[in-house]
Structure 1
Amino acid sequence: MPPMSSVHVETPAPHPGEEEASGADALRRATWITAHLPTGLFEFGVRRTHGNTKPDHATVERSLVTRSRHRGIPVTWIDRENANRGVLIHLHGGTYVKGEHPDHWDWLADMRRRGGMAVAMLHYRLPPEMPFPAAYDDAVEGVLGIVEDFAPYTPRWVLSGDSAGAGLALAVAQTLRDRDEQRPSALVLTAPWVDLTLNDPRIAEQEEKDPALSRETLARSAALYADGFDLEDPRLSPLFRDLRDLPPVHLTVGDQDILLGDALRLRDGLADAGTEVTWLEQPGGWHCYPMVWRGPVSQYARRRQIAFVREALRFDVPVNEGRRAAAH
């Protein structure tokens, strides 16, 4: 267990009801089929998810959605005009091989609507056409581009990610630290995948509980993304990189998540390194439950994440003062 002075443990919501956890059997069957598809069909399936999407009009008012490029990396914004208050930059999950899903847009739109900041989805390149280090390079360059495009008065900003995107967000934060670049005010990581080696012994036990993701899918996705690079490369598996001198981190995971072990090891490593960690572990939660579920448990997790972001963006101080502080 990490030093408790470095970890704030949040009380989870009550166990999910039947309506929130329904469909597990059907999802488990679909997960099994995906994991066992022939290579050609698996790659065809992931390619179909590629392409930079936008939130639909039922999720976000169309006038709030804009697109831009930052250092050449495409970004979709929701309410960019509000960026002077603060910005949340999100890196989507999808085991590094799939594009963003409507669930990502629903979560991100909720962050914007209830958080009161501008939000941005960064579209990074994907394998098999563009394997590692394309996603890593795009995420680093895109984030730096967004930050520099708001100079000289850069608003405070938070970097978030889910699953593979959470691992990517952590790797970006570590790179910004090592390059002595401007860092985010905080990290919001949901069900992070931070060790592509899949050597965590908890995976076998957790796989039996989690209907949403399988070890086979993780393994073939990791191989497709890494494209021959060592899976212990810290740009691929940021758990193996220095965890010191990072901003405060909010970690959310379900206790049935196949990647619970990654989240626990990351929590302990961050705390041992002296990094502030806020920890939310939801009983009954599957992989990325705050995004894929619709109901009180998901809403509770989102409220905790939003409260963390608002605190990191210093919404309790005047906007101009916050901007001046962020610029120094």
Structure 2
Amino acid sequence: MKSMHVETPVPQVDEEEASGARALRVGAFISAQMPIGLYELNVRRTHHPTKPDRELVDRSLVTRSRHRGIPVTWIDRARANTGLVIHLHGGAYVNGESQNHWDWLSDLRRRTGAAAAMLHYRMAPEMPYPAAYDDAVEGVLGILEDLDAVSPRWVLSGDSAGGGLALAVVQALRDRGETLPSALLLTSPWADLTGEDPRRTAQIEKDPAVRPDLLARCAAMYADGFPLDDPRLSPLDGDLHGLPPVHLTVGDQDLLLGDSQRLRDALGLADVEVTYLEQPGGWHCYPLVWRGPAAQRARRAQIAFVRDALGFDAPVNEGRRAAAH
């Protein structure tokens, strides 16, 4: 079994972090109870690729291109020759990226010094499985092809559904004999769409941001009749051997805590190096939606992991030796 490094969380969650719990709980309830037609109309409004706000990123650094036909929004693409983070956003496979995603990704890009790419995969209900899976695999391969002359080190990242998708993508790349990322950065990954994890029951009343009935609705919309335990849909059920080092962040109030704990343990058994951070009081995807000490501690840990994976903090002599090879 590979070694596992456990990051030290912030001991206490600031009260300010919990102030939006009631509003989140009400919003999640409304989404879960909304008639299916109205819900589908609501999520379709989020399916157009967005860009980070001007307050987050200078517009001169933001560009958009297509790679094997998949749209990608870049932040500081010129730096891709030094290192790259490709991110797959969450949203239960039915919602597009939000400004919380852009805030997190632009912060990660700025503080690591790498280029960042948001890959805009197709979503349900218009485009159910395998659209997101195919787009993510092809989009990643297309980016790497278009940067072939540069051959940068790169990290594949994902949050929530995007975290599960990132795990499925790296499994596909391994099986195809393609270039693997230097590391995998996962935040609250939704890696099991079956909803059968017994640990989920204990989390239902703890996480105001996510409901099991809403996840079940989204899983059915995305899977569109395919078995939910298919490893391409639930990569936690797939082969985890031969994957790059993984950084895994989750809150102990997260409805999907069990996914992360099971994934942590399964990766260790598969001889994959794991860095694990479990934040007391943390909700689903807390590093993206919170702004206080706990979120900043998680972001610092993620940034340090990415910098190490990209070789930014390697001693000069080691960097020169690597370049010589």
- Same structural fold, with TM-score higher than 0.5 when normalized by the shorter chain: yes
- State whether residues 168 and 235 of structure 2, in contact with CA within 8 Å, keep that contact through their aligned partners in structure 1: yes
Q: CA deviation at 1:91?
A: 0.0
- State whether residues 207 and 284 of structure 2, in contact with CA within 8 Å, keep that contact through their aligned partners in structure 1: yes
The 3 A distance-change label for structure 1 pair 134 and 317 is same
Is 1:296 aligned to 2:284, yes or no? no
Q: Which stretch shows the higher mean deviation, 313-322 or 25-34?
A: 313-322
What is the distance in 2 between the residues matched to 1:275 and 1:30?
Answer: 38
What is the distance in 2 between the residues matched to 1:216 and 1:15?
Answer: 29
> Residue type matched to 2:41 in 1?
F
Partner in structure 1 of residue 246 of structure 2: 249
Q: Where do residues 155-170 of structure 1 align in structure 2 (5 Å cutoff)? A: 155-170=152-167
The 3 A distance-change label for structure 1 pair 308 and 81 is same
> Residue type matched to 1:313 in 2?
L
- State whether residues 31 and 211 of structure 1, in contact with CA within 8 Å, keep that contact through their aligned partners in structure 2: yes
Is 1:184 aligned to 2:181, yes or no? yes
What is the distance in 2 between the residues matched to 1:186 and 1:297?
Answer: 23
Q: CA deviation at 1:202?
A: 1.2
Partner in structure 2 of residue 38 of structure 1: 35
The 3 A distance-change label for structure 1 pair 327 and 160 is farther
Count of residue pairs brought into register by the alignment: 325
- State whether residues 9 and 280 of structure 1, in contact with CA within 8 Å, keep that contact through their aligned partners in structure 2: yes
The 3 A distance-change label for structure 1 pair 51 and 321 is farther
| 3-state SS in 1 of match to 2:253 | coil
In structure 1, runs of 5+ residues without a counterpart are none
Q: Where do residues 62-211 of structure 1 align in structure 2 (5 Å cutoff)? A: 62-211=59-208
- State whether residues 187 and 249 of structure 1, in contact with CA within 8 Å, keep that contact through their aligned partners in structure 2: yes
What is the distance in 2 between the residues matched to 1:129 and 1:201?
Answer: 31
The 3 A distance-change label for structure 1 pair 89 and 19 is same
What is the distance in 2 between the residues matched to 1:179 and 1:186?
Answer: 18
Runs of 4+ in structure 1 deviating by more than 2 angstroms, as ranges, are 316-328
TM-score (norm 1): 0.96
- State whether residues 127 and 224 of structure 1, in contact with CA within 8 Å, keep that contact through their aligned partners in structure 2: yes
Deviations 1:160-180 (A, max 9, x none): 000000000000000000000
What is the distance in 2 between the residues matched to 1:156 and 1:323?
Answer: 15
**Which of 207, 212, 227 is the aligned partner of 2:209?**
212
- State whether residues 10 and 280 of structure 1, in contact with CA within 8 Å, keep that contact through their aligned partners in structure 2: yes
- State whether residues 191 and 251 of structure 1, in contact with CA within 8 Å, keep that contact through their aligned partners in structure 2: yes
TM-score (norm 2): 0.97
- State whether residues 103 and 292 of structure 1, in contact with CA within 8 Å, keep that contact through their aligned partners in structure 2: yes
Identity, % of aligned positions: 71
> Residue type matched to 1:230 in 2?
P
Deviations 1:87-139 (A, max 9, x none): 00000000011000100000000001111000000000011110000000000
Q: Where do residues 262-273 of structure 1 align in structure 2 (5 Å cutoff)? A: 262-273=259-270
